[in-house]
Amino acid sequence: MPGALAGSYGDTLVVVGGHESSFSLGKSGPRIDAIARKWRLVGGQVVELRHLRCFVVLAEELHFTRAAERLHIEQSPLSRTIKELEDELGVLLFDRDRRGTRLTQAGEVFLQDVHRVLSTLELARENVKAVSSGYLGILRIAVPSGYIDPRLSTFLARCREEDPAVEIRLTEASLTEQLRGLRSGSFNLGFAYTAEVGDGITAEPIWVDSVVVAVAARHPLLANKQIPLEDLIHYPLVVADPRVFGKCGCEVGQMVQDAAIKLDVEYVASMEMMLTLVAAGYGVGFANAARIRVLNRPDIVMRPLATPNFIHTTYLLRPESGTGTPAAISLDRFIARLHKQIDE
């Protein structure tokens, strides 16, 4: 496996390379710190974990002084560590000249694999801690930044009651972060508002809700029981940023673009920000009807759009691979339980 990273601890071999990662614990038991101490490159060279950490920090900072400060070491030891790593690999990872420090092409490729190595180690550490605490495993679930569907809270409470041996950890993440985490193994599952997720990930529609218009109390638009689009576009709009929310934001954006006149649009990164601006009279917003009802804000009133078939879909995201593992088995039970709740 050219370019792969492998770590050894006693009879245990840890290999991380290409686009796949595997982790194995030997007879000595779940000593992740010891396992992570040294890594052996295919070909015999030894790379310590400190080399990888120093490399990642320098790759993020692209400045030796700032990287050394983050690592709480002097610049000379950092330079020496990077040189040791480059000597072991037999390639330059950074270009250094008067203009600054930049990753080489080899460095960019190596950085991707190192991120997978460190992510795998951290996941292994968390799994061991979970098992030692009495759990059978961990499910790591990503949810959209700034918005958690109220039905998910009810469902998670049911999971804790019916499957208490599986620990569930939620992380707020943008769509881009979710997809990256699902592909790297940092997340087992995600919830998003778009099915456009690329290769290697499946997107299944879970919840479908109508999109409503959110306006401040006593707003002139409240004279309508259903708000026509031609009336709506004459007011400033507060719209979900498609970079955060995915296609649901794009659909509203497309409606805005199709309008015959230029609109005053404010893009926001969270549902809370949108509702705050709407309540303050800065504009008119769009929201999931279920979300607005749960919030029960007296300063905001919702009205349906007169435009038919304008809906908000929540998708369940999961990697296509990974069947047969303990995490996948727990995940299958989680998804089966979710389907059961939807059907009830």
Dump pLDDT digits (tens) for 199-244: 889 999 998 887 788 889 889 998 888 888 778 778 888 877 765 5
Question: Structure tokens of 34?
Answer: 């010891």
Weakest mean pLDDT among 37-41, 136-140, 335-339: 37-41
pTM of the entire predicted model:
0.58
Question: Structure tokens of 326?
Answer: 């303990």
Residues 6+ apart with CB under 8 A from 157: none
For the chain, domains (ranges, CATH) are 5-129 (1.10.10.10), 135-344 (3.40.190.290)
Q: What is the structure's pLDDT at 107? A: 94
Q: Tokens 């990287």 sit at which residue? A: 67
Counting residues of the chain whose pLDDT is more than 90, the rounded percentage is 21
At 147, the pLDDT band (50, 70, 90 cuts) reads low
Cβ atoms of 256 and 222 within 8 Å: the answer is no
Report the mean per-residue pLDDT for the chain: 76
Identity of the highest mean pLDDT range in 38-52, 74-88, 162-176, 268-282: 74-88
Dihedral sign, CA of 123, 126, 132, 134?
negative
Burial label, 164 (beta-carbon count in 10 A; 0-12, 13-18, 19+): exposed
Q: What is the structure's pLDDT at 270? A: 76
Greater confidence (95 vs 290) lies with: 95
Identity of the highest mean pLDDT range in 61-75, 217-231, 276-290: 61-75
Q: What is the structure's pLDDT at 69? A: 95
Weakest mean pLDDT among 77-86, 128-137, 169-178, 218-227: 128-137
Residue from 171, 115, 114 nearest 138 by CA: 171
d(CA 48, CA 41): 10
pLDDT at residue 42 above 50? no
Residue from 144, 171, 160 nearest 291 by CA: 144
Identity of the highest mean pLDDT range in 66-70, 109-113, 139-143, 207-211: 66-70
Residue from 89, 88, 93 nearest 108 by CA: 93
Q: What is the structure's pLDDT at 7? A: 38
